[in-house]
Amino acid sequence: MLNMASHVWGRSRVLGASGTNRLDFVVVCFIFIFFIMTHTRQPDHPVNPMFVNRWSPRSLTGEALSKEALMSVLEAARWAPSAYNAQPWRFIYALKDDAGWAGIFGAVNEGNQSWAHRAGALVVVASAKQALFPGKTELTANAWHSFDTGSAWMSMALQAAQSGLVAHALAGFDPVKLRAAIHLPDDYALEAVIVLGKQGDKAQLPEALQQREAPNARKPLSEISFAGTFKA
């Protein structure tokens, strides 16, 4: 994306400097402006840039990730909010070449394996289906376990982005194989597998994925927020 923008900009400078074809110069400048406007995320309202700039690349370098870097990402997740402070999230991780890597990676579907093998770490996100709520003496069903664990994942994603890392959440995995690989009890739900690593060249990806390797858009706020009552 940036390479294309640089090419267009360079072309516009050449045309402008020559002075031989001002119409071409204007057209190329217009194309450049249109490209920038349509290939960058634009919030509808003021928001911290970290929310807009975070995205989920698949291109990775294959470099190892230090345990310290991984712990920093998980530490951010630890401070996420949850109903009654139940903190239902659990993280089962494997750094590249750790003993647990093969089991987690083997449960990921083939399409995701085609690029996730270059990750520096894999993190399984699970959540406790039950919690000990205030005033209770026994564990009871926690209706918010997945919702709350989603807030922990977002904390992970933002910390990773702030640390210059890729954090890509996967839903494409075999839950039976994954549960067996990490010895997850039945009273915990599998939520996702997080691929962590350093961003690499998208040319390493299969051709179909190269075309998708760019930040995607979001629905307008007017389509997802409503004053007073829901609107279909």
The DSSP code sequence of 118-129 is T-SEEEEEEEES
Contacts of 109 (CB under 8 A, 6+ apart): 172, 173, 174
Q: What percent of the chain shows pLDDT beyond 90?
A: 81
Q: Is residue 67 part of a domain?
A: yes
Q: For 54-75, what is each residue's pLDDT tens digit?
A: 999 999 999 999 999 999 999 9
Same domain, residue pair 139 and 185: yes
Same domain, residue pair 77 and 159: yes
pTM, two decimal places: 0.81
215: pLDDT strictly greater than 50: yes
Average pLDDT of 116-121? 97
Question: What pLDDT does residue 24 have?
Answer: 63
Same domain, residue pair 98 and 141: yes
Q: What percent of the chain shows pLDDT beyond 70?
A: 83
Q: Is residue 143 part of a domain?
A: yes
Same domain, residue pair 23 and 69: no
Q: Is residue 10 part of a domain?
A: yes
Going by pLDDT thresholds of 50, 70 and 90, the confidence category of residue 41 is: confident
Question: What pLDDT does residue 164 have?
Answer: 96
Question: What pLDDT does residue 40 have?
Answer: 72
Same domain, residue pair 63 and 35: no
100: pLDDT strictly greater than 80: yes
Contacts of 152 (CB under 8 A, 6+ apart): 77, 78, 80, 82, 89, 125
Residue 115 contacts residue 59 (beta carbons within 8 Å):
yes
Same domain, residue pair 84 and 137: yes
Question: What pLDDT does residue 18 have?
Answer: 54
13: pLDDT strictly greater than 80: no
3: pLDDT strictly greater than 50: no
d(CA 28, CA 95): 47
4: pLDDT strictly greater than 70: no
Same domain, residue pair 101 and 171: yes
Q: Which amino acid is at 189?
A: A
Computed on alpha carbons and rounded to an integer, the radius of gyration of the chain in Å comes to 22
Q: Is residue 217 part of a domain?
A: no
Question: What pLDDT does residue 2 have?
Answer: 43
Going by pLDDT thresholds of 50, 70 and 90, the confidence category of residue 106 is: very high
Residue 111 contacts residue 172 (beta carbons within 8 Å):
yes
d(CA 106, CA 178): 8
115: pLDDT strictly greater than 50: yes
Q: Is residue 114 part of a domain?
A: yes
Q: Which amino acid is at 111?
A: G
Same domain, residue pair 29 and 135: no
Q: Is residue 26 part of a domain?
A: yes
Average pLDDT of 145-170? 98
Task: Give me the chain's average pLDDT, please.
Answer: 88
Same domain, residue pair 25 and 140: no
Question: What pLDDT does residue 190 have?
Answer: 98
Average pLDDT of 4-30? 51
Question: What pLDDT does residue 20 have?
Answer: 54
Average pLDDT of 152-181? 98
Q: Is residue 205 part of a domain?
A: yes
Q: Range of 23's domain?
A: 2-40
Average pLDDT of 89-113? 97
Same domain, residue pair 64 and 171: yes
Average pLDDT of 107-132? 97
* Angle, CA of 110, 166 and 104, to the nearest 5°: 40
Tokens of 146: 């997945």
Q: Is residue 35 part of a domain?
A: yes
Same domain, residue pair 104 and 150: yes
